[in-house]
Amino acid sequence: MQVTYWLEHAWLGTNVEPGVALDVADGRVSAVRTGVGSPPRGAVVLRGLTIPGLANAHSHAFHRALRGTVQVGSGTFWTWREVMYQVASRLDPDTYFALARAVYAEMALAGITAVGEFHYLHHAPGGRPYADPNEMGRALVAAAGEAGIRITLLDTAYLSAGFGEPPNKHQLRFSDGTADAWAERVSLLQDLDEADHSGQSGDAAGTAGTAGAAKDGGGVRIGAAIHSVRAVPADQLATVARWADERRAPLHVHLSEQTAENDACLAAHGRTPTRLLADHGVLGPRTTGVHNTHLTDEDIALIGSTATGTCMCPTTERDLADGIGPAVALQRAGSPLSLGSDSHAVVDLLEEARAMELDERLRSRTRGHWTAAALLRAATTDGHAALGRPDAGRLEAGALADFTTIALDTVRTAGPLPRLAAETAVFAGSAADVRHTVVGGRHIVRDGAHVLVPDVPRALSDSIAALRG
């Protein structure tokens, strides 16, 4: 299938170009033609600013059910976590599929074309494995397929309640017991990983949305995650890292999100979480630390010198009162930045990009730490790379045909000159301004409506209502 999209304005990595024609074949961009003043005959017209598809590098889909509920009263991350555990206890493969399908559809409406799902809800309550020990993970893959977006399933090792403590009653369903048992289970998911199987039809995933995805780079990637240094014993960290390294798969880890975690790690091991991960071979260019909030200068140097990535989740970090991470210092040290919506207090990657800059302004009392282009790179190119998709996040020949269009005529975006469209989108636009989302050359959101999930608000309402006790 071949199609031409005519883009009224396009962000090409460094600048906004008017009148760009994208030729798409087999799910990839085959040509980019600039200076095309009017739509070619038969072209699909996308008015507004078209940018590469946004990459949500850190998601916990089931946290979407907490929106609003956890805004009542006060508390800390640790009191928030107790509410989260209650929601997690009510999920089964069917209810998780329904919720995740709605959440991923919400992401598509926000211009997100790929998600990194940090998945640790593996077993039934009490820790009993399902007949298929990966049934919950497969539900997430199916949900992403039906919502029309790509997924990197970051299957997460979660073995301990804390340094030397067994899982508590809520965490039993997260745990495989040992890292070796985790590796054995997650290896069974390799039939879903389309990254290196260009001849597959995509039907192995069992989802309508991934059918044919192999031609356009694969709808599914299987990666790994270490929940945190408190949740995986130090002597088992290398097992997870080795599993990912042997498969050249992405490896993510929550890192120094809370000062309490840092203090406990120092007490248990006499070193920071970052140093502990480095000593066990976890850091490296395919690894991404999520949050990276409370770091020492040595930590920042370790992360940067190993080219370990940093995924900032500003809307969650501020919602949970976690703190503002040293993103400027990390990037200067050599750590690529990506963005995630994490707990889904909101699902809006433009807001995440804007918040990273604005939070830094509040802390430093200076402006202009990142340009709009740099923030878009974090939300696109570097985000996709963190998810194991280096061929996404660019509007250029050979790249995946994943892109999104932001309206420039809404009450938020109207007025500025078109050449300032990137600045307008990042610093004034929102998910509500997304008009089109295309994944693998296929229109998933058209004129602000999801073509696969007809009523996303109803799907969200119904799936969340099913989890109320």
405 contacts 444 by C-beta, under 8 angstroms: no
The confidence score (pLDDT) of residue 373 equals 97
Least confident stretch, 136-150, 189-203, 455-469: 189-203
Residue 27: left if φ>0, alpha if ψ -120 to 50, beta else—which one?
A: left
Q: How far apart are CA 277 and CA 375, in angstroms?
A: 28
Q: Is residue 79's pLDDT more than 80?
A: no
- Percentage of the chain exceeding pLDDT 90: 87
Q: What angle, 0 to 180 degrees and rounded to 10, lies between the N-to-C axes of helices 372-379 and 349-364? A: 130
Nearest to 277 by CA among 313, 244, 317: 244
Q: Is residue 210's pLDDT more than 50?
A: no
If one compares 254 and 72, the residue with the highest pLDDT of the two is 254
Number of CB atoms found within 10 A of residue 128's CB: 9
**Cα Rg, the chain, nearest whole Å:** 21
What is the four-CA torsion angle of 218, 220, 222, 224, rounded to 10 degrees?
Answer: 110
The confidence score (pLDDT) of residue 83 equals 83
pLDDT confidence band for 469 (50 / 70 / 90): low
pLDDT confidence band for 195 (50 / 70 / 90): low
User: Over the range 334-372, which residues count as b (16 or more CB within 10 Å of their CB) and which as e?
Assistant: ebbbbbbbbbbbbbbbbbbbbbbbebbeeeeeeeebbeb
Pairing verdict, β 337-339 and 403-406: unpaired
- What percentage of the chain's residues is helix, strand, coil (to nearest 5)? 40, 20, 40
Q: Is residue 70's pLDDT more than 90?
A: no
Segment 392-443, tens digit of pLDDT: 999 999 999 999 999 999 999 999 999 999 999 999 999 999 999 999 999 9
Q: Is residue 202's pLDDT more than 60?
A: no
If one compares 79 and 180, the residue with the highest pLDDT of the two is 180
Q: What is the SS3 assignment for 464?
A: helix
Q: Is residue 270's pLDDT more than 50?
A: yes
pLDDT confidence band for 133 (50 / 70 / 90): very high
Instruction: Name the amino acid, one letter, at 467.
Output: L
Q: How far apart are CA 62 and CA 412, in angstroms?
A: 30
Q: What is the SS3 assignment for 107?
A: helix
**Section 188-213 average pLDDT:** 50
Least confident stretch, 153-157, 215-219, 309-313: 215-219
pLDDT confidence band for 115 (50 / 70 / 90): very high
319 contacts 291 by C-beta, under 8 angstroms: no
Q: Supply the mean pLDDT for the chain.
A: 93
273 contacts 294 by C-beta, under 8 angstroms: no
413 contacts 333 by C-beta, under 8 angstroms: no
- Percentage of the chain exceeding pLDDT 70: 94
Q: Is residue 80's pLDDT more than 80?
A: no
Pairing verdict, β 309-312 and 287-291: parallel
Q: Give the active site residues.
A: 291, 342
261 contacts 77 by C-beta, under 8 angstroms: no
Number of CB atoms found within 10 A of residue 8's CB: 18
